[in-house]
Amino acid sequence: MARDKRNEEKERGIIRELLGWLLYILIIIGLTYVIITFVGQRTRVSGSSMETTLSDGDNLIVDKLTYRFREPKRYDIIVFPYQYEENTYYIKRIIGLPGETVQVIDGYVYIDGNLLDSDIYGAEVMNSPGIAAEPITLGDDEYFVLGDNRNHSSDSRDPSVGVLKRKNLIGRAWVRIYPFDEMGVIKHE
């Protein structure tokens, strides 16, 4: 009789332990979902369009929370989905803000007719203005983006990318987590 009672208690203890582990695993899965959906996600840089700021193979954490509380700023490095290829994301720098008129003249960016002289991120003078050869006036929720390696970048000058809507901005590049020797917060200005 006492043996049956001990076995019963042992079984209950095992069941409690299993339920505790199951609850723990469910909480971890739930927190992971919340973090990936609303706070941040890992992404990998593929290509040279953001050289010398970011390099091919860099692994980043994208901050998805900041733009819930403030508007994107000029020179923010942002991540957005490429509209013609599923699960493909581009990373570029915001140059033109809502309501501004952007144009590329003789390889240089002009905002509202004024040379963007503080544009220190462009590695070189642009060879092709693309669709920005003519003035592009951005709507209330539109952004014009360029890669830092301007002559090797598909960006807002390319019709397949074009201007971006606010809703398409996933977030801003926040931290480089690999390679380890370059790990750290990414400077946007």
Q: pLDDT of 106-141, one tens digit each?
A: 999 999 999 987 666 766 889 999 999 999 999 999
pLDDT tens digits along 149-167: 989 999 999 999 999 999 9
- Which residues of the chain fall below pLDDT 70? 1-3, 35-39, 118-120, 122-123, 188-189
Residue 135 tokens read as 């003035």
Q: Which residue among 49, 64, 153, 156 is the active-site one?
A: 49
Supply φ then ψ for residue 16, to 5 degrees. -60, -45
Residue 49 known to be catalytic: yes
Which entry of 48, 55, 92, 160 is annotated as an active-site residue? 92
Told to judge if 165 belongs to the known catalytic residues of this protein, a careful annotator would answer no
What's the rounded Cα separation, in Å, for the pair 25 and 78? 33
DSSP code of residue 10: H
